[in-house]
Amino acid sequence: MGKDKKKEEAVFLRKKITLLRVFSLLIGSMVGSGIFISPKGVLKNSGSVGFSLVVWFACGLLSMFGALSYAELGTRITKSGGHYIYILETLGPLPSFLFLWAEFFAIRPANSAVVSLAFGRYMLEPFFAPCAVPVPAVKLVSLLGYYMVLTLNSWSVTWSARLQTALSIIKLLALALIIVPGMMLLAQGHTENFQDAFNKQLLVLDKLPLAFYAGMFAYSGWFQASFVREELVRPERNIPLAVIVSVVTVIVGYMLTNVSYYTVLGMQDVLASPAVAVSFAQRAFKSLISVVPVLVALSCFGTMNGGIFTFSRTLFVASREGQWPPLFSMIHIRRHTPLPAVMLMFPLVTAMVCIGDIYHLMNFFSFSRWLFIGLATLGLIVHRHRHPELHSPFKVPLFIPVSFTIICLFTVAMSFYSDPVNISIGCAVVLSGFPVYYLIIHRQISNRCQSPFYYITHKLQLLLEVVQQEIKTY
C-alpha cells in the first residue's frame, strides 16, 4: 500500500507519448506554416521553378540525414532536451549554454513569431479577401492563437498531445486539397509553367543559402521527438520508426504540393502572392476559397502547439542540469506539466510578433538554429569516437552525420554573404552568451540556497504550485 501511494504522489513527467503521438508530433511540427510561407522564399532565392524543386528535394534529403542522426543520438543519450542535451553530453557545457542562450533570445521566439504571424494572416484572409488584411489585426489574432496554445500546454500534456494528433490529420487534409487539383491539371497537360524550368540566368549562387534556409524552415520539426525523449513509450523503437516514416511522408507531400503550386499559379504569381495557399485556392477552386485558409491556419496552430510542447522541455532539462534558473525544472503538482518553462516564452514572442516581419525573422533565427544543429550531429561523431564500446540499438552509416554536419556548417558560413545584417545580429546574440557563461554559469555558487534569488524562486514556486521533479525509481 505504501509503495502504491508513493507511485500516486510522485511528481514527474509521465511516459504518455506513444508511437502515434510522436508521429503526430513530428508531422504536426513539420507540416505547418513552412509549406505555405517558404515556397516564395525558396523560389525567390533559387531563381527558377526547376532549381526551386531541386532545393526542396535537397532540403528533404538533408532533413532525413539529420533525423537519422538525431534518432541515433536519441538511442545513445536517454535524456530529453534535444539539441541542448546532445551538445552538452558530447561537446561540453559552454557550447550547450551558447545554444540555450541563442535558443531563448533568438531561435525559438523568432520561430514562434513567424508561425504565429502566418496563423493570424491565414485565419483572417477569408474575412478580408480580396482586400489586404490589416497588419494590426494579423498581429492581434496571432497573439491570441499563441496564448491559447500556451494555456493548453500549461493545462495538460495529454490534451496537448491529443490536439496535435487531430491537427496532424487536418494538416494532411490541407495538403491534399492543394495536391489533388494540381495533379489533375498536370495530368490534363497543363505543363506551360514548367517551360524553361532551369533558367540559369536568374540563378544567383550567393542567394542559395537563403533558399535552403527557407526550405529547411518548412521541414524543421524532424528533431522534435528528441525534446521529449523521457516521455516516450519504447523510445528505442519508436524514435527511429517515427522519424523515418514522418520525414518520408513530408518529403513526398512537399514535392507534390510545390508542383501543384507551379501548375496552377506559375512563377510570377507565387512571387507576387502574400499568401500562396490562398492564391492557389482562388485560382483552383473558388467554392473552397474560405476553407483552405482556415485549414492552413489550423496547420500553423498545430506547429505552435508542437513548438511550445518541446521547447518547454529544453528549459526544463537545462534547469535540471544547472544552466538555467531552478524554477524552470519544476512540475505542477496536479497537472504534471512544466508550467514555469511553458510560460517563460510569453514576453519575447509577444515582442517579436509586435515588431517583426516574417522573412527577416526567418533569416535571423536560421543562422543560429542550423549552426547548433550542425554542432549536435558533430557531437554524434565525437561521441562515437569517445565511446566505441557503447551499444546503440539504432546506428546510421558514418557518412550521414558527416555529410549533414558539413552541409549545415557550410550553409551557415555562406549565409554571411547572402544576408549580412540579419546573420550578423544572430551571430552577435550567440557571442553575447560568452560573458554570461563565464561570469554567472561557470562561477555559480555551489550552494544555491545562499543565492539572493532563492527567496524569489521559493515565492514563485508557491504561487505556481510547482515542485522539483522526483527521480522515478520504480
Amino acid letter, residue 465: E
Q: Using pLDDT thresholds of 50, 70 and 90, give the confidence band for residue 15.
A: low
Q: Report CA-CA distances (Å) from 11 to 202, 264, 321, 323, 471.
A: 58, 54, 18, 22, 9
Residue 471 lies in a domain: no
Residue 220 lies in a domain: yes
Compute the CA torsion angle 348, 352, 355, 358 (nearest 10 deg). Answer: 180
Determine the pLDDT at residue 473: 32
Residue 137 lies in a domain: yes
Residue 252 lies in a domain: yes
Residue 70 lies in a domain: yes
Q: Using pLDDT thresholds of 50, 70 and 90, give the confidence band for residue 446.
A: very low
Q: Report CA-CA distances (Å) from 97 to 306, 334, 443.
A: 23, 31, 14
Give the single-character DSSP code of 469: P
Work out how many domains the chain is built from and give that number. 1
At CA 25, angle to CA 36 and CA 376, rounded to 5?
Answer: 90
Specify the CATH number for the domain of residue 18. Answer: 1.20.1740.10
Condensed to tens digits (0 to 9), the pLDDT of residues 275-328 reads 787 788 778 766 566 777 888 888 888 778 777 766 767 777 787 787 887 777
Tell me how crowded residue 458 is: count the other CB atoms within 10 A of its CB. 12
Report the candidate in 253, 193, 214 with the shortest Cα–Cα distance to residue 37.
Answer: 214
Residue 121 reports pLDDT greater than 90 = no
Q: How far apart are CA 259 and CA 249, in angstroms?
A: 16
Condensed to tens digits (0 to 9), the pLDDT of residues 404-440 reads 999 989 888 887 877 788 788 888 888 998 888 888 7
Determine the pLDDT at residue 422: 77
Phi, psi of 419 (to 5 degrees): -145, 75
Q: Which three cell numbers stand for residue 287?
A: 467554392
Residue 401 reports pLDDT greater than 90 = yes
Alpha helices (runs of H) in 188-290, residue ranges in sequence order: 208-219, 235-264, 267-272, 276-284
Q: How far apart are CA 49 and CA 53, in angstroms?
A: 6
Residue 98 lies in a domain: yes
What is residue 10's three-state secondary structure?
coil
Torsion sign over Cα 53, 362, 226, 398: positive
Residue 49 lies in a domain: yes
How far, rounded to the nearest angstrom, does the alpha carbon of residue 252 sit from its chain's CA centroid?
19
Q: How far apart are CA 404 and CA 62, in angstroms?
A: 6
**Domain that residue 186 falls in:** 13-313+355-428
Determine the pLDDT at residue 335: 66
- Residue spans of beta strands (DSSP E) within 103-245: none
Residues 436 and 443: beta-carbon distance below 8 Å: no
What is residue 452's three-state secondary structure?
coil
Residues 380 and 90: beta-carbon distance below 8 Å: yes
Task: Considering only residues 182 and 286, tell me which one the structure prediction assigns the higher pLDDT.
Answer: 182
Determine the pLDDT at residue 5: 45
Residue 423 lies in a domain: yes
Determine the pLDDT at residue 170: 82
Q: Report CA-CA distances (Å) from 340 to 112, 113, 326, 343.
A: 18, 20, 10, 5
DSSP run (H or E) holding 379:
helix 358-386
Q: How far apart are CA 406 and CA 413, in angstroms?
A: 11
Of 50-54, 178-182, 222-226, 359-363, least confident by mean pLDDT is: 359-363
Condensed to tens digits (0 to 9), the pLDDT of residues 89-106 reads 899 889 999 998 888 888
Condensed to tens digits (0 to 9), the pLDDT of residues 230-288 reads 777 787 788 888 889 999 999 999 999 999 988 888 888 888 877 787 788 778 766 56
Tell me how crowded residue 76 is: count the other CB atoms within 10 A of its CB. 20
What is residue 232's three-state secondary structure?
strand
